[in-house]
Structure 1
Amino acid sequence: MFRPRATPAAATAAVALALSGCAGAGAVGGGEGEQIVVAIVSNPQMQDAISLQDEFRAEHPGVDVRFVSLPENEARAKITASVATGGGEFDVVMISNYETPMWAENGWIENLQPYIDETEGYDADDFVPSVREALSYDGDMYSVPFYGESSFLAYRADLFEEAGLEMPEHPTWDDVRELAAELNAPEDDFSGICLRGLAGWGEVMAPMTTAINTFGGGWFDEDWNATLDSPETREAVETYIDTVQQYGQPGAATSGFGDCLTRFAQGQSAMWYDATSMVSTVEDPASSTVAGKVGYAPAPVADTESAGWLYSWSLAVPSTSEHKDAAWDFVSWMTDKDYLRLVGEEIGWERVPPGSRLSTYEIPEYAEVSQAYADATLESMNGATQESAMTHPVPYPGIQFVGIPEFQDLGTRVGQQMSAAIAGQVTIDEAIAQSQRYADTVAETYRAQEEQ
């Protein structure tokens, strides 16, 4: 497998993104002692971790944790800029299986395997195998999962039953469009489906790329030719954009994961295709009006066996940290089996971070509340491979992302084009043409490397 290294140009691009996207950081902390700074994404599960900090302080009174919590796009840019340039602001960073192998190769993050091996009862073998492998480099784990996810299609089973509709066992994008059309009721502020439209490589481009894959398209072919203007990619983009424009939520171009989560959980959409981690909120009666009313189906397909992605929000320790032992104390606490039980007992079993540890699904209380989605989650994660989700080989790792350093910038730029097309600010043809030019520039570098 081709292993990309982060280039100075890629790091510079990441810094440029961060300078425009790091406003709004919030620090939370307390107590005295060795202070560590933790940069995380402000998703619901991460906010739960902040709310449980008294438990961590009770176990580690000598460690004072301060959080910088940011929306997903801003967090990516801020964390990348800091780690890539050796800024040293953070002792723990929340990254993913996109960054982990590249940053490990570059020496930007610590090898956590020695810490794992020396921590009694931590049990790294309990991690979901596909996630553990995705967060490893040369056989060692360089980040550990807070939660893991694939993607699936959530739908209002109660409304389907009322309307006499049936969700296919393996829905296609054509099925999704027909069902969305049946249930769409914009006059009641109710959409047939919710899909991300917010610009960003980890926002609109995550679900859209799975559509591109299953239609037979892609970002690059095996010879590093950009293929964003191929007929297959074009059909996927047109299908995705037309679906959300015709049957999706109002203001779709500014809807990210969080917006769709709120909308679906408050009963304003009939379907939602997105990350399996949604279940922690969707099935929580305290924050969702549709808990217990939702069914889950595999990611919609066209020409492939499956279409789900594989992703993990994970915790890593930058090599520049001066508090590595204290950082591991926090990382191991937040990713241990005991933490998952703590969330269940203190906040609710519906809120347990899913998809990281196999043992989670053996906890009786969790098994009871997750019976509607546990199997669907694990099946989606286990089936998320390039071989099953793509029609042809590609020269890079990743399913819903391209595992090269330049993708943060490239994916962001293409995401801006697609979001603009969803908003009607540019035509789909214009968005595709500009995206192809962006991808061509990146492809030239990799073709040149292959020729050397």
Structure 2
Amino acid sequence: MPDSMTNWAWNDPSLQPIREEQAAEFEEMTGTKINWQTFPFEDFTAKFTSALQGGNAPDTTALSVLWVPRYASQEVILNLEEEGFDPSNYVAGAKRNAMSSGSLYSVPWYADCRALAINKTMFEQAGLEIPDPLERPSWEEWKSWVDALAKEHGTGYGMPAGEGFDGFVLSNGGGYINDDGTKAIINNDAALEAANFLQPMVMDKKIATYTGGGATTAGAQFESENIPMYYAGSWDYGRMEESGIDWQYVPHPSGPRIDTSHTWSAGVYYSVPTRGGSNRKAGLRFLEYISSKETQKRVVEAIGGFPGLKSAYETDYFTNYIKEHPKLKTIEQEMPNTVSFPDHPEVATMWSAVHTSAQALWTGTEPKKALDNAAKEIKSVL
């Protein structure tokens, strides 16, 4: 092993302390010091491509699930099965996002799940009963909450403009493309039903949508008690607990076409470059470390995500942590219902197309027109 290695990640200040803590643990185990380099998420792919070409690639790099298929198809990240990693060791949602074309190209640092976060005090002020944290509401029941909350508080729900829409498409059995990747389905009846359901509530300002970062995010507005319910992630747990709000998770509502709530499965995944001067031995050793049972069993406490490794769920450490933090039982229940992103090199293009169309929906564009535009752009890359 070398004396030092370089790891890349995008600039999320909330994750830097655990990165440094794990770097210290890794150095103690292996004698190799980790030099972290972080870049803005929106610049990351350009930086990575430049590094591969310029011979200064990192030894291992964080990847969004939107990028794994692209880099796998370009063969610029290692096929990890050929290096001894077994996909069957990982839980379903994490495994699917880590793979492309049937092979494993990344390992999850953590996997995550989306749900609703509700302010219990603001629910009671609106005359609503506090819902069971393990009971999945229907769209209509959820709408009744939004109506009552908006009447009392001005806004009933907050969501990211794009991914919030995705959640309702997925929870009605829809998606971006069909199972064999030959056809765009973002404009099918399931997706149109979601658009027609949400648009009036957004236009009436019962739902607030957010496109920026910082103080404009739904999470920040929830923490400030400006909105009573929002589209939340498992990674929000620690911050919410520190906010002092009386809150809980609720499963994302399910649509009329399916009886299971679906949201995206994502997280942070690490891969090893095949070129650009990366040290494969060091990179693979780091991947072994982050996907080990000892590291994975602690990811909920350390990061807020959930383990990607199956065996981590069977440890006393993980079981006890969930018992001690019962709000997370909602996330534990919903993790198996998450949906992986399409395994296609242009999935990031699809994501952008759908989210651009979703933003058009929220400014009054007729739903069929908006979703036909998204489908046309997706079709152009299939």
- Same fold per superposition (TM over 0.5): yes
Q: 309, 319, 325: which one pairs with 2:281?
A: 325
Answer yes or no: is 1:314 the counterpart of 2:272.
no
Equivalence map 1:140-159=2 (5 Å): 141-159=104-122
1:411 and 1:48 map into 2 onto residues whose CA distance is 29
In the alignment, which residue of structure 2 is the partner of 1:44? 14
Q: Tell me the amino acid that sits aligned with residue 277 of structure 1.
A: W
Q: Tell me the amino acid that sits aligned with residue 247 of structure 1.
A: K
Q: Are 1:40 and 1:93, in contact at CA under 8 Å, matched by a contact in 2?
A: no
Q: Tell me the amino acid that sits aligned with residue 269 of structure 2.
A: S
> What is the TM-score with the length of structure 2 in the denominator?
0.78
1:54-89, CA deviations, whole angstroms, 9 ceiling, x for partnerless residues?
Answer: 444444443341221424x444x4367458868753
1:259-303, CA deviations, whole angstroms, 9 ceiling, x for partnerless residues?
Answer: 2233333433322224333324323x2xx222x631322444232
Q: Tell me the amino acid that sits aligned with residue 428 of structure 1.
A: T
Measured after TM superposition, the shift of residue 49 of structure 1 is 1.8
Q: 308, 318, 336: which one pairs with 1:356?
A: 308
Q: Secondary structure at the match of 2:217?
A: helix
2:121 and 2:377 map into 1 onto residues whose CA distance is 48
Answer yes or no: is 1:192 the counterpart of 2:156.
yes
Q: 408, 412, 416: which one pairs with 2:356?
A: 416
Measured after TM superposition, the shift of residue 33 of structure 1 is 4.2
Q: Are 1:39 and 1:67, in contact at CA under 8 Å, matched by a contact in 2?
A: yes
Answer yes or no: is 1:369 the counterpart of 2:324.
yes
Cα gap change, 1:280/1:330 in structure 2, threshold over 3 Å: closer, same or farther? farther
RMSD: 3.8
Equivalence map 1:86-105=2 (5 Å): 88-101=56-69, 103-105=71-73
Q: Are 1:153 and 1:300, in contact at CA under 8 Å, matched by a contact in 2?
A: no
Q: Secondary structure at the match of 1:184?
A: helix
2:97 and 2:213 map into 1 onto residues whose CA distance is 28
1:303 and 1:342 map into 2 onto residues whose CA distance is 37
1:212 and 1:421 map into 2 onto residues whose CA distance is 14
In the alignment, which residue of structure 2 is the partner of 1:66? 36
Where relative contact order (Cα < 8 A, 6+ residues apart) is larger, the structure is: 2
Measured after TM superposition, the shift of residue 179 of structure 1 is 0.5
In the alignment, which residue of structure 2 is the partner of 1:165? 129
Answer yes or no: is 1:248 the counterpart of 2:207.
yes
In the alignment, which residue of structure 2 is the partner of 1:296? 250
1:311 and 1:95 map into 2 onto residues whose CA distance is 11
Q: Secondary structure at the match of 2:191?
A: helix
- % identity of equivalent residues: 16
Q: Tell me the amino acid that sits aligned with residue 180 of structure 1.
A: V
Equivalence map 1:7-18=2 (5 Å): none
2:191 and 2:371 map into 1 onto residues whose CA distance is 11
2:90 and 2:173 map into 1 onto residues whose CA distance is 32
Q: Are 1:267 and 1:289, in contact at CA under 8 Å, matched by a contact in 2?
A: no
2:265 and 2:157 map into 1 onto residues whose CA distance is 22
Equivalence map 1:116-135=2 (5 Å): 127-135=90-98
2:24 and 2:216 map into 1 onto residues whose CA distance is 26
2:354 and 2:93 map into 1 onto residues whose CA distance is 28
Q: Secondary structure at the match of 2:278?
A: coil
Q: Secondary structure at the match of 1:408?
A: helix
Q: Tell me the amino acid that sits aligned with residue 373 of structure 1.
A: L
Answer yes or no: is 1:207 the counterpart of 2:164.
yes
Q: Secondary structure at the match of 2:376?
A: helix
Of 37-46 and 268-277, more deviation after overlay is shown by 37-46
Q: Which runs of 5+ in 2 are unaligned?
A: none
How many pairs are equivalent?
Answer: 371
Q: Are 2:67 and 2:348, in contact at CA under 8 Å, matched by a contact in 1?
A: no
Q: Are 1:153 and 1:296, in contact at CA under 8 Å, matched by a contact in 2?
A: yes
Measured after TM superposition, the shift of residue 367 of structure 1 is 2.5
Q: Secondary structure at the match of 1:194?
A: strand
In the alignment, which residue of structure 1 is the partner of 2:376? 440
1:185 and 1:220 map into 2 onto residues whose CA distance is 37
Q: Are 1:83 and 1:108, in contact at CA under 8 Å, matched by a contact in 2?
A: no
2:222 and 2:360 map into 1 onto residues whose CA distance is 23
Q: Are 1:153 and 1:298, in contact at CA under 8 Å, matched by a contact in 2?
A: yes
Q: Which runs of 5+ in 1 are unaligned?
A: 1-31, 118-122, 198-203, 386-397, 447-452
1:436 and 1:255 map into 2 onto residues whose CA distance is 28
> What is the TM-score with the length of structure 1 in the denominator?
0.68
1:205-243, CA deviations, whole angstroms, 9 ceiling, x for partnerless residues?
Answer: x33223224446554457945454445433312333443
1:89-124, CA deviations, whole angstroms, 9 ceiling, x for partnerless residues?
Answer: 33322224444355335422113346556xxxxx98
Q: Secondary structure at the match of 2:270?
A: strand
Q: 223, 232, 243: which one pairs with 1:265?
A: 223
In the alignment, which residue of structure 2 is the partner of 1:180? 146
Q: Tell me the amino acid that sits aligned with residue 234 of structure 2.
A: T
2:219 and 2:79 map into 1 onto residues whose CA distance is 34
1:444 and 1:144 map into 2 onto residues whose CA distance is 30
Measured after TM superposition, the shift of residue 421 of structure 1 is 4.1
Cα gap change, 1:57/1:262 in structure 2, threshold over 3 Å: closer, same or farther? farther
Q: Secondary structure at the match of 2:157?
A: coil
Q: Are 2:159 and 2:210, in contact at CA under 8 Å, matched by a contact in 1?
A: yes
Of 292-301 and 174-183, more deviation after overlay is shown by 292-301
Measured after TM superposition, the shift of residue 144 of structure 1 is 1.0
1:382-427, CA deviations, whole angstroms, 9 ceiling, x for partnerless residues?
Answer: 1235xxxxxxxxxxxx4xx4432223224213322322443x3xx3
